[in-house]
Amino acid sequence: WTATRDKSCKLPMPKGSMGFPIIGETCHWFFQGAGFHASRRQKYGNVFKTHLLGRPLIRVTGAENVRKVLMGEHSLVTVDWPQSTSTLLGPNSLANSIGDIHRKRRKIFAKVFSHEALESYLPKIQQVIQETLRVWSSNPDPINVYRESQRLSFNMAVRVLLGFRIPEEEMHCLFSTFQEFVENVFSLPIDLPFSGYRKGIRARDSLQKSIEKAIREKPLHTQGKDYTDALDVLLESAKENNTELTMQELKESTIELIFAAFATTASASTSLVMQLLRHPAVLEKLREELRSCGLLHDGCLCQGELRLDSIISLKYLDCVIKEVLRLFAPVSGGYRIATQTFELDGVQVPKGWSVMYSIRDTHDTSAVFKDVEAFDPDRFSPERSEDREGRFHYLPFGGGVRSCLGKQLATLFLKLLAVELAGGSRFELSTRTFPRMISVPVVHPTDGLRVKFFGLD
């Protein structure tokens, strides 16, 4: 990687520090978490240089700068994950595809998240959430919400999205291997025994083996529109687009979908539980909304069939989820590489440099949000809609041609969880104070968030 300035460009380089040789500032980043970027942004400005995960990097904050990066896909930048992420996700993943191949793959995937497909996943997602809350409530001890939310989002991805029926014992093994994979997706690309990178490769190979077995044993229903899971939809969609997916493509797509859903959804679920605990008035207002549309009656959730449209019509619920994702955006940003030298905030981004656009810092520093640190769901109400000022001030799901494909699914999952928490559960914080949040690899509480859940009497 050339970390030099473009001499033909008159603009100065961004300010910043490149840290130590080879490792750069990677260790500072791991240990400082969110504070790493915030401290450097305060010192060097919205566009600063650093050196992370084995490469020089320009970190970009602020709606206007982020807009230029995201809308510059193909002309100014293209996707460029750290080497570890790229190798572990594989050449057939969406994350690693560019240009027409990316467009074609996204088209195939789009059907997996269509309104019709989501409607068909809804009852199963609801069932997985209800079963999980029942297990949490029957446990006499407090639950580590972050750890158990990881299990919940993993179950959701494996059972609901992929339709795998895996015995409990194997599911535990698969979950541990998956955690090992995720922990090492962002690691220094040094392939030595016991290195994170090597552990990640081993975990990936083992996952691919188990997934191949599950795909071969899975009954496929690709006839008609009566979908059972996302894998069926994916295969049907590929057929409609005159594409046959190879086993290797299927395995990589499967791991990519679980990866994309796993840590992000677990992080957001934990933040949701924490904010409902911190803000009883918000929880009560949610209950009021459920009562007013007949979903909550005499303190109990009505067990009738919940439709996607009824969930979408709950406006306050929508504000709550949006606010959780604003204040605790699970993904801190996305990686790109400059395909030509360009200007950003008065400095040059030289061709060949990695660029990381920042989501959380952009939310935290955006002037459109009043009292930016306050948890205030009503800021997204139709009367206030503070996010209307421009779409790059609020971007928990990224933006442009690489925005999150699972956005609607993730939102539906979080809304269903909030409905079950508000309507069907009682829960209390088990520690004296709320934990501190850390942000690597995704936002989560230092102690996982200890909460005692009770069933409804």
Where do contacts with ligand HEM occur on this chain (CB under 6 A)? Answer: 94-95, 106, 161, 257, 260-261, 264-265, 268, 330-331, 334, 359, 396-398, 402-406, 409-410
Question: Strand pairing partners for 47?
Answer: 60
Q: Which residues of 121-134 are buried (b: 16+ CB within 10 A; e: fewer)?
A: bbebbbebbbebbe
Phi, psi (deg, nearest 5) at residue 225: -105, 10
- Please, are residues 57 and 1 in contact by the beta-carbon 8 Å criterion? no
Which strand ranges, in their side-by-side order, compose the sheet holding 77-79? 15-16, 47-52, 55-60, 354-358, 333-338, 77-79
In terms of Cβ atoms closer than 10 Å to its own Cβ (0-12, 13-18, 19+), residue 151 is middle
> Which of residues 177 and 362 has its CB atom nearest to ligand HEM in the complex?
362
For ligand HEM, the closer CB: 329 or 347: 329
Shortest distance in whole angstroms from residue 10 CB to ligand HEM: 30
Closer to ligand HEM at the Cβ: 13 or 259? 259
Q: Residue 200 or residue 330: which is nearer to ligand HEM going by CB?
A: 330
Q: Could you tell me which of 412, 425, 187, 146 has the C-alpha nearest to residue 299?
A: 425
Report the distance separating Cα 20 and Cα 16, nearest Å: 13
**What is the amino acid identity at position 278?**
R
Rounded to whole angstroms, how far apart are CA atoms 439 and 441?
6
Nearer to ligand HEM, 36 or 413 (CB): 413
Comparing every residue's Cβ against ligand HEM, the nearest one is: 406
- Rounded to the nearest whole angstrom, what is the least distance from the CB of residue 457 to ligand HEM in the complex? 32
Asked if residues 301 and 419 have their Cβ atoms less than 8 Å apart, the reply is: yes
Separation between Cα atoms, residue 107 and residue 400, nearest integer Å: 15
CB of 149 to ligand HEM, least distance (A): 11
Distance between CA atoms of 368 and 364, rounded to whole angstroms? 10
Residue 13 or 153: the one with the smaller Cβ distance to ligand HEM is: 153
Token duo for residue 212: 């191949």
Q: How far is the CB of 268 from ligand HEM (least distance, A)?
A: 4
**With respect to ligand HEM, which residue has the nearer C-beta, 296 or 354?**
354
- Taking the complex as a whole, the smallest distance from the CB of residue 256 to ligand HEM amounts, in Å, to 6
Closest CA to 425 of 133, 214, 189, 166: 133
Query: Shortest Cβ distance from residue 456 to ligand HEM (Å)?
Result: 27
Position 59, amino acid: R
Distance CA 193, CA 202 (A): 11
Find tokens 């971007």 and name the residue.
395
For the CB of residue 397, give the shortest distance to ligand HEM in the complex, in Å. Answer: 5
408/292 Cα distance (integer angstroms): 24
Is 143 within 8 Å of 450 (Cβ atoms)? yes
* 156: DSSP letter: I
Closest CB 21 distance from ligand HEM, rounded Å: 28
Nearer to ligand HEM, 6 or 318 (CB): 318
Q: How far is the CB of 129 from ligand HEM (least distance, A)?
A: 14
Hey, what are 81's tokens? 């994950």
Q: Which is nearer to ligand HEM, 72 or 396 (CB)?
A: 396
Output 104 or 172, the one with its CB closest to ligand HEM: 104
Other Cβ atoms less than 10 A from the Cβ of 382: the count is: 8
C-beta closer to ligand HEM: residue 28 or 402:
402
Smallest gap, in angstroms, from Cβ of residue 276 to ligand HEM? 16
In the complex, minimum distance from the CB of residue 291 to ligand HEM, in angstroms, rounded to a whole number: 27
